[in-house]
Structure 1
Amino acid sequence: MEVKGNRHLFDPYTSWKWGFPNAYRKPGFGYQKLAKHRHRDVFEREWVGDYDDRYISSWDGKISKLVVQAIDEIYDNDITSTYRRTFIRTIAPVYLRLANWPFNHVDPNNNDGKPTSEDMPMLCLKWFITSIAITFVISSPSSASIPPRNGGCYDPVPYRYYGYPKVTRNAMELDSPRGCRDANPVAERVLRPRYLCFLREPGEPALIMNVEEWITQYKSERNLAYVFIAYTAEQFQSSEDLMALHQMADAAARNAGVMAYWVGCSCMPDSDQLQEDVYRICDVIRGAQSLVIAVGQPPNDRQDISTTDLMLQQWGKRIWTFPEVLLAPAGKEIKVYQRGGDLMQPLRVPKNQFAAKVWKEDAHTARQLIDHYEGSLILTQLELVTLALECLQKRDTNEYLRGDHSYALMGLLRTRPKIDPTDTAFQAFARLSMANGSDQLLERLICVLPRTPNQPWHSLDDAFGSKLWEILPEGVEISGIGQDDSVILDGCRAANVRWKSFTPVANTRRPSWKRYIAEKLLRLGGVTFLIGIVLVAIPNPAGPGQGLSPTQGAGVFLIIYSLFLMFLSPWLLRMLYLGKFWDQQCWLFGFEGYMPIETIEAQIFGGRLGRLRWTPYASPLSRHHRNEHNECVPDDPTTDREIKALVERCKHAGPGEQRLFTLVDTGNMTVTLFQATRPPTCFLMAGSEGGMKRIVGCSYDWTTATMYRETVLRMETKFEDKMSRIGRVKVGFRREQHPVAPLIHVGEAAGMRVE
């Protein structure tokens, strides 16, 4: 792929600025100026301005405008971004590019990369031109080595979060006075129901009575057994329906030989405690003698739900009915009473067969949960929460609070936080996870790469195909929950991504006699040529016409010698500066679009040198194959036709759509192709899986100091220590798209630093 490079300087749409990169292209879209925002950086400097795309600079810690280098096709033809773009610049030294120029027409995939007879004429012509050019460019070459930056480590992320969390593990970190508020208050369990329906004489309706009053009045609690009546309001709504429900409940209690039953429509009468009662039903189920399900044909039935099986399946689709079955007494059959059916002969369903009969859509997953509560298959805490969350999210509910799905899950766990009506669905789940430990569920959830861009936070479907328990957080911890749907993560390693350009890579190579001799010959070449000219210019003491004096003869020899060195200069330069690195400066370079790896190498190192390789399994777009030696060989992702088509589609992606980016990691000397909605300005190392580290690529919303997950990649472990630790960082799972409009209508964002 040919790169235009500095020829873009003459494009009519290229703009200019003082800072590097001086030449750039303005975005096609700008964010609507809805408000002024404030940011406080790690050095406590303040910035106030309009919403725009920025990143934290590793150089000075300031938030700077995001400029992304892009391939020529995107830079020339696409203006659908909200951030500035610049063209890709070649940063390799000129003499290295000259040394590799004679070979750039040789096909590396043909003849083991060696020149063929057809390549030789062009190679010789280029070699001659290069030999002359190198003489003028570098007569006495200095070392191409540069000092390492950050001690050879990746660029750090100078970030600090100053805000308060909504919920934290330690109450001292809250904004309330000390001792006035718990960090994450926990609700107490109830030992028995507050109300029960007590049986009376046959034919008489049951007596609804407070349990404590009943115990006080009858001085007995030994025989306080009851059945739990489970039903759905979709099937029992009117007063007539509820009367029929009580008749079935009465019969069920008598058939079970108990004196009472519990049914939600009558046993939660106190409006001031109704909310707490709803979320404590799980304790009532645990104390029941048995579970009874009452079903009936729903009013205004449009789906022809006329059989017991269909009624049961409708009942099983409700969110609150799911934990009722799981928590039913182990080893006992579940009895199903149908309205209008024989109350003396209910349908009996073994609990371990309930999933196959009723929960057909997720029977395999739900059966594992039933087996866990039956004691035949014990799940870990993490497996229990993961599988239960997956099942509950598939069920319907008439939302009372936004956290209802998490509150239903809460009944399955030991520790239950108190209900907070202000919680979002995510906050309710996060508080539940923190209260129960849950084997660092949230820390693992951050490392999940969604299969689709719109995948909700509660979906655990990983694009790499890993289960949540296969991801291991290492040295990271959730210290709190943000005011929005975010968490405060502490202890992870972090590295900034350089998007605006490539830069020379400091490296270490082992010394050798070949390099030593090549270096001395090249350094002496220009001096030798000048000395030769001086010696030839000295007049012969014997007079004109007497031939060459010994001095002139030595000068001629030195000139011929220097010309010979001139002819060998491309080969000597390649010998001196090419080859593999033993160690190198760790950089994360990024650009938008795709380029062949040979082109990437030419931009950074001056030619196709075989130093970089594609990652075999770092991204869902990575590809590899097995060679004849049973080795894993990474492939160019575009060898896959689907990915090649994806590369073309992403060239025209607009705001809020998935784009294609390339990450060059000089630490591991690898190149990774990946998708993201926005370019991730930094990567957080938050866990490991399958012998590799999971690094979370985040964009930075400077208006709320939040790092939003854009992608997740897998990275080799050996350069883990090259990333520095970062303090508490606020991490969000999904960044909302700020309203945009064409830049000509809204204008560029403006701001100023506050002293």
Structure 2
Amino acid sequence: MPLPFVSEASCRDDINLKKQSHKARQRYMDPHTGQCTELVVQAVKPASGTNIKQVRITDQTRRIPKLVVSLFRPKSCSMMDVLVFILLWPFRFLICSIHLLIWPLDGLPKGGMGGSIDVTEYPPYLMCYWGHLWAARSQKEYTVFESGEERRKRAPSRAVSVANSITRLLRPRQKRKDDPPSMAPAITSTPESAPHSFYPSRLVILRDDVWEICDDHEKIARHHYFAVTYRQSDILESGRGEDEFIASIRSAASQCEMKAYWLDLECMGNTDEEKHLDVYQLADIYRGAEFTLVALPKSDDPTNAQSGEAWSNWSDRVWTLPEILLSKELRYMVGPKGPVAMVTLRELAVFAYGHDSEEAAVVNACGGMDRLYQLEHLTFLKAVIWRRGIAPQDPEKAPPKAQSRQSKGIDSLSYEAEKVYALMAFFEHRIMPFPPESDLHALARLSMINDGYRIAERMLSMFPQDIPSTSCWYADDDQYKAQFWDIEPEVQVAGVTDQGALVLDGCRAASIRWKDFPEVGVQTTESGFRQLVAKIAVFGIPGFYAFAVQWIPWLWISPAEVLAIALFGWATILLILGPFMIAYSISGRILFTQPFLVGVKGALKVEEASHYLYRAWLVRPRLAYTTSGSVLAKHAGEGDIREGDRTQYDEVKDLKRDDLYTLIDTSTGTLYYFTANRPPTVCLYTGREGGLGRFVLCSENCTANELHKETVLRMPSQIHRSMRSCGWLAIGCVEE
């Protein structure tokens, strides 16, 4: 994907965090130098004029081993390749001998000496996140969210979010007795300081045939109440004013012989701080009510609960599910003078939600008909809440009478993160609402405070159909068809940045090589004395020749002349036998391969990849297509061996996509095809699912010091042991 034209960008290095300027092109952290370097990508068909430099596919294998292998193995078994092999054999033999004479140290590939290698890790990722956190998991961390400026935007310092306790209130919004009237109620951080030192605030109570808003603790404690749920636009757009609507609720209270009720129009706070606290405790309001009354607008057929669009319109609200699922009992009323009727949770779900499977699963679980694993239950709840509408935030777009309510500071539910605040009603720990934050910021905070569910960590390992350009960790679906609870995270979220990026701790990461195929070291089965002699003997060829040439011109008749001639002859024999001894020294079964992740733009066959990686070895290790590691993978299906279908190359090549890439893992000998907007340069191990590891492939945004998720592969979990642990990493936005 082409990047916008920017002449220059700046970033910081990984050592002293000194600023440096560079061209605004895709870059990566070089694992060998620790410097931010311009990305060069090898491609099957290099294209010019792109924002990323593309080059032909090459390898770093030494020349002599490649020539030796070409002496013993034709390119293929076709007649043409065999004929070319025979015709070029003398020329290749001569070139190989000359190389051995000039530079014999080039005679063995990396790892060939001694039959073992020292490097057992993937090239590491050296950069880490060095910026401030907007919100953190630990209260000891400095965060912008808790800084003075942001705190002033939210509320006084006493109204903080619960971090390590579960607060459950017995009545609507409560405050401490020693708080001044203008101070919003504080949220306790320990259970010991909870309900007994609080008194409830604000219920509408009938006293002496007069309805009045009461905040007297002693009086409220003696009254049972019901809560009201309604759709604001239905009430206001139908021509009913607030006063008329309130009168209808009081009439319903008389029908039900109730002397107290909770209605947001009358009972929610007037200041921003009080409104935030009311939203925080909204779940407790509906839990404590004797029943919840669903107020619907007047219908053409008020005797039929299923008539009109009233139920479907009401169910589009974000707060619908918390209101009904947390209630003890449900009732409904159609129109201002309609009778109040009982309705079961299942009946209401049929009226309001139809036959949606996820809504049905949630309702059945809450109704005790089905048992759902808690995380599964919360996952369904998130899905159905996310499909609900959002209250208008722009006063100009709200209905006329809603504008007047907002101007008075009465409307308390206009939050960008409204869906998250509705979802948090079902969690043990909650977060204090903060109007400027986005839903992803709020979701990250909710996930951190409820660590047992690890919502954000699970989302990170999922591969959605569309990866967001910002906050790319967020996911609603998974292209591998895995459910949310199927993923077992292996990382922890330490915090979230002001741009919505997750900061991860405990990551294992590896750099992906794009510029060429490296010289791969191996460990072989053959490491006996004869192979060792063959390896060492080749190194002495230039020395034998140098000694012989030095003494032959000066000694005419002496034993030294005979020795020099013998050395010259021995060196010549070694020179002739050199290619064969090199071939013998690099033979043997390969047991272990140095780990590398190598990327290529375009589709590459396993035969071609094996040729570039192991062209210096007579016995090549097996390289195979992945069976289920990518969304483009295809299982062979038949046979006794679990392996990828070889036809997947033809299918991928026929796609003719410019965003197609090939990844080769030398540790397991597996080839993966995937698509991405930008070539990923970092591979992160983030979790496990279905017997394989979840590996997130990311591109680097050095300017923002963040990574961006490009794709997710399912690779064998054991390879993470060859990845080096790194510091904090931020998974966030793509470079702009």
Q: Does 1:414 align with 2:417?
A: no
State the AA in 2 paired with 1:364: S
Change (3 A) 1:30 1:169: closer
Q: Which residue does the alignment assign to 2:598?
A: 589
Q: Distance in 2 between matches of 1:48 and 1:95?
A: 41
Equivalent in 338, 349, 361 of residue 355 of structure 1: 349
How far 1:151 sits from its partner (Å)?
3.3
Residue 603 of structure 2 contacts residue 649 of structure 2 at CA under 8 Å; is this kept in 1? Answer: no
* Structure 2 residue 108 is matched with structure 1 residue 143: yes
Which residue does the alignment assign to 2:120? Answer: 152
- Once residues 85 and 214 of structure 2 are traced to their aligned partners in structure 1, the CA distance between those partners, rounded to angstroms, is 97
Correspondence for 1:11:
none
Q: What TM-score do you get using the length of structure 2 for normalisation?
A: 0.77
Q: In structure 2, list runs of 5 or more residues that go unmatched.
A: 173-200, 393-413, 548-562
Partner of 2:464: 450
Q: How does 1:130-209 map to 2 (within 5 A)?
A: 130-138=92-100, 142-146=107-111, 151-174=119-142, 185-186=161-162, 190-193=169-172, 194-199=201-206, 207-209=210-212
What is aligned with 1:17? none
Match of 2:701 in 1: 701
CA separation of 1:49 and 1:208: change in aligned 2, threshold 3 A: farther
CA distance in 1, matches of 2:721, 2:159: 34
Once the two structures are superposed, residues 294-320 of structure 1 have per-residue CA deviations (whole angstroms, 9 ceiling, x without a partner) of: 212599xxxxx9963531011111112
Which residue is 2:36 aligned to?
Answer: 63
Alpha-carbon contact 2:467-2:710 (below 8 Å) kept: no
Corresponding residue for residue 492 of structure 1:
507
* Matched ranges for 1:502-581 at <5 A: 502-511=517-526, 576-578=585-587, 580-581=589-590
State the partner residue of 1:674. 674
How do 1:348-387 residues align onto structure 2 when only pairs under 5 Å count?
348-360=342-354, 363-387=356-380
Q: Percent identity over the alignment?
A: 25
Which ranges of structure 1 fall in alignment gaps of 5 or more residues? 1-26, 108-114, 300-304, 532-550, 651-658, 739-755
> Displacement, 1:383?
2.4
Aligned to 2:557: none
* Deviation by residue 1:378-426 (Cα, 9 ceiling, x = unmatched): 5444323322211111111124222111111122222221112221211
Question: CA, structure 1 residues 106+269, in 2 after alignment: closer, same or farther (shift >3 Å)?
Answer: closer
1:473 aligns with 2:449: no
Question: 1:612 and 1:349, CA in 2 relative to 1: closer, same or farther beyond 3 A?
Answer: same
Whether the 8 Å contact between 1:371 and 1:377 is mirrored in structure 2 is yes
What do the CA deviations read for 1:121-150 (whole angstroms, capped 9, x no partner)? 555435455445444444678332348887
Preserved CA contact (<8 Å) 1:319 1:405: yes
Tell me how far apart the structure 2 counterparts of residues 183 and 231 of structure 1 sit (CA, whole Å). 28
Find the residue that maps to 1:663 and give its secondary structure: strand
Cα offset, 1:285, TM superposition: 0.9
Q: What secondary structure is seen at the aligned counterpart in 1 of 2:231? A: coil
**Residues 526 and 589 of structure 2 are in contact (CA less than 8 Å); yes or no, is this contact kept in structure 1?**
no
Aligned partner of 2:180 in structure 1 is none
Question: Does structure 2 retain, via aligned residues, the 8 Å contact 1:617–1:623?
Answer: yes
Q: Do 2:204 and 2:214's aligned partners in 1 also have CA atoms closer than 8 Å? A: no
Counterpart for residue 67 of structure 2: 98
Match of 1:618 in 2: 629
TM-score, structure 1 as length reference: 0.75
In structure 2, the partner of 1:635 is: 645
Q: CA deviation at 1:632?
A: 0.9
Instruction: Give yes or no for contact 1:169–1:184 (8 Å, CA) kept in 2.
Output: no
Whole-angstrom CA distance in 2 between matches of 1:711 and 1:381: 29
More displaced stretch, 279-288 vs 480-489: 279-288
Out of 241-250 and 417-426, give the one that drifted further: 241-250
SS in structure 2 of the partner of residue 266 of structure 1 = helix
Q: Which moved more, 1:364-373 or 1:483-492?
A: 364-373
Q: What SS class does the counterpart of residue 445 from structure 2 fall into?
A: helix
Q: Secondary structure at the match of 2:232?
A: coil
Deviations 1:579-606 (A, max 9, x none): 5421222122222112212112222222
Amino acid corresponding to residue 88 of structure 1 in structure 2: I
Task: Give deviations 1:521-574, integer Å, cap 9, x for gaps.
Answer: 98899999999xxxxxxxxxxxxxxxxxxx9xx99x9999999969xx57x755
How is 1:274-313 mapped onto 2 (pairs within 5 angstroms)?
A: 274-296=275-297, 308=307, 310-313=309-312
- In the alignment, the residues of structure 2 paired with residue 28 and residue 319 of structure 1 have an alpha-carbon distance, to the nearest angstrom, of 38
Q: Given residue 427 of structure 2, which amino acid in structure 1 is its aligned partner?
A: L
Shift of 1:199: 4.7
User: 120-129 vs 443-452, which deviates more?
Assistant: 120-129
Equivalent-residue separation in structure 1 for 2:598 and 2:514 (angstroms):
6
SS of 1:417's equivalent? coil
Number of aligned residues: 656
Give SS of 1:500's match. coil
2:285 maps to a residue whose letter is V
1:49 & 1:184 partners in 2: Cα distance?
A: 43
Amino acid at match of 2:480: F
State whether residues 506 and 727 of structure 2, in contact with CA within 8 Å, keep that contact through their aligned partners in structure 1.
Answer: yes
CA displacement at 1:708 relative to structure 2: 1.8
The answer to which of 608-617 and 95-104 deviates more is: 95-104
**Alpha carbons of structure 1 residues 632 and 529: separation in structure 2 relative to 1, 3 Å:** farther
**1:233 and 2:232 are equivalent in the alignment:** yes
Asked if 1 retains the 8 angstrom alpha-carbon contact of 2:74 and 2:82, the reply is: no
Counterpart AA for 1:145 = K
Mapped to 2, the partners of 1:434 and 1:565 lie a distance apart of: 67
Residue 110 of structure 2 aligns with an amino acid whose one-letter code is S
Contact preservation (8 Å) 1:171, 1:181: no
2:178 is matched with none
Assess, with a 3 A threshold, how the Cα gap between structure 1 residues 312 and 207 changes in structure 2: closer, same or farther: farther
Q: Equivalent residue for 2:5?
A: 31
8 Å CA contact retained: 2:65, 2:109: no
CA distance in 2, matches of 1:165, 1:429: 15
Structure 1 position 172, deviation (Å): 2.7
Using a 3 Å threshold, how does the CA distance of structure 1 residues 123 and 91 change in structure 2: closer, same or farther? same
Letter in 2 for 1:66: L
How far apart are the structure 1 equivalents of 2:162 and 2:289?
23
Q: Distance in 2 between matches of 1:637 and 1:173?
A: 52
Shift of 1:49: 4.8
* Match of residue 599 from structure 1: 608
> Does structure 1 conserve the Cα–Cα contact (< 8 Å) formed by 2:459 and 2:475?
no
Distance 1:580 1:295, change over 3 A: farther
- Pick from 88, 99, 103 the counterpart of residue 57 of structure 2: 88
Kindly provide the amino acid, as one letter, of the partner of residue 725 in structure 2: R
The offset of 1:706, in angstroms, is 1.0
Residue by residue over 1:591-638, the C-alpha shift from the partner in whole angstroms, topping out at 9 and shown as x without a partner, is 211221211222222279353222222221222213332x21223464
Give the partner amino acid of 2:596. W
CA displacement 1:507-526 (0-9 Å, x = unmatched):
11111678579769988999
Partner of 2:455: 441
Tell me which of 657, 666, 690 is aligned to 1:649.
657
Give the Cα separation in 2 of the matches to 1:512 and 1:723. 28
1:535 matched residue in structure 2: none
Amino acid at match of 2:514: W
Task: From 66, 87, 91, give the equivalent of 1:125.
Answer: 87
Following the alignment from structure 1 to structure 2, what is the Cα–Cα distance between the partners of residues 558 and 480?
69
